[in-house]
Amino acid sequence: MKIFLDTADLDEIRRAADANLIDGITTNPSLVAKVAGKRDPKEIYLEICEAVDGPVSLEVVGLDRDTMVSEGKKLAAIHENAVVKVPLTEDGLKACRALVSAGTPVNVTLCFSVSQALLAAKAGATFVSPFVGRIDDVSGEGMQLIHQIRQVYDNYGFDTQILAASIRHPMHVVESMLMGSDCCTIPPKVLWQLSKHPLTDRGLEAFLSDWEGLGAKI
Ligand code: G3P
């Protein structure tokens, strides 16, 4: 499963990219607003695209088809790694079709149902982003959506990649893998949690204390 980092924070991106643990980045207007301050987001987008060797999702903020397509073309022109993110609305689907037909990869975001995911695939989306955590937030079963989309996409041979998003904790990542999600976009905090296990810490402690007894060096 491909791992994307869900952030616009360059320090976090470089930390994960240095460890070669990520296959790409996803951003959204809220994540950009957290880091941009007075800077032009397009400058930040270029730095992010140069920091990773993989797809970087950059979101439009227009609401009608034509505005989304023109913003999408500007975002795509920033760097070859750019993937244009559009919302799963009627205009978003139309913009998706137009951009994909022009050769621009598109990530259709804010997906909350399998019927929405069907339309994203039929609009030619490269990625679809079902928001698992936000469904859990309203007492729904976010992972059930991943399961349904996987089943429908496999039933009809859609090649849109499922990008599990709005990830809250490591079990969302584990379940996404077990359900066959193609990608998962993870906040930095959760990415580093994935590396943690108390038995690893305890085992290392025991090894080192046993070795210390030797007073030997490698
Ligand atoms: O970037 C898209 C998505 O992963 C954000 O989800 O719910 O953490 O804001 P959330």
Q: What pTM value is reported for the model? A: 0.95
CA distance 10 to 133: 24
Please determine, for residue 56, whether its predicted confidence score (pLDDT) is greater than 90.
Answer: yes
pLDDT digits (tens, 9 = 90+) for 183-218: 999 999 999 999 999 999 999 999 999 999 888 888
Query: Is 85 a residue of the active site?
Result: yes
pLDDT digits (tens, 9 = 90+) for 62-117: 999 999 999 999 999 999 999 999 999 999 999 999 999 999 999 999 999 999 99
Look at residues 5, 76, 145 and name the one whose alpha carbon lies nearest to residue 86. 76
Q: Whose C-alpha lies nearest to ligand 1, atom 8? A: 166
Ligand 1 proximal residues by C-beta, below 6 Å: 6, 26, 28, 131, 133-134, 165-166, 185
Q: Looking at ligand 1, which atom is closest to the CA of residue 57? A: 1
pLDDT digits (tens, 9 = 90+) for 115-128: 999 999 999 999 99
- Across the chain, what does the average pLDDT equal? 97
Please determine, for residue 55, whether its predicted confidence score (pLDDT) is greater than 90.
Answer: yes
Contact yes or no for 35/5 (Cβ under 8 A): no
Phi, then psi, of 131 in degrees rounded to 5: -90, 90
Determine the distance from the C-alpha atom of residue 178 to the mean position of all C-alpha atoms in its chain, rounded to a whole number.
Answer: 17
Question: What's the per-residue H, E or C state across the chain?
Answer: CEEEEECCCHHHHHHHHHCCCCCEEECCHHHHHHHHCCCCHHHHHHHHHHHCCCCEEEECCCCCHHHHHHHHHHHHCCCCCEEEEEECCHHHHHHHHHHHHCCCCEEEEEECCHHHHHHHHHCCCCEEEEEHHHHHHCCCCHHHHHHHHHHHHHHHCCCCEEEEECCCCHHHHHHHHHCCCCEEEECHHHHHHCCCCHHHHHHHHHHHHHHHHHCCCC
Percent of the chain with pLDDT over 70: 100
pLDDT for position 106? 98
Question: Which of 34, 134, 136 for mutating ligand 1's site (highest number of atoms within 8 Å of CB)?
Answer: 134
Percent of the chain with pLDDT over 90: 97
Q: Looking at ligand 1, which atom is closest to the CA of residue 165? A: 4
Question: Which of 28, 85, 108 for mutating ligand 1's site (highest number of atoms within 8 Å of CB)?
Answer: 28
Query: How many CB atoms lie under 10 A from the CB of residue 126?
Result: 21
CA distances for 44 relative to 56, 173, 210, 212, angstroms:
12, 27, 48, 47
pLDDT for position 70? 98
pLDDT digits (tens, 9 = 90+) for 129-179: 999 999 999 999 999 999 999 999 999 999 999 999 999 999 999 999 999
Residue 210 CA, ligand 1 centroid: distance in Å = 44
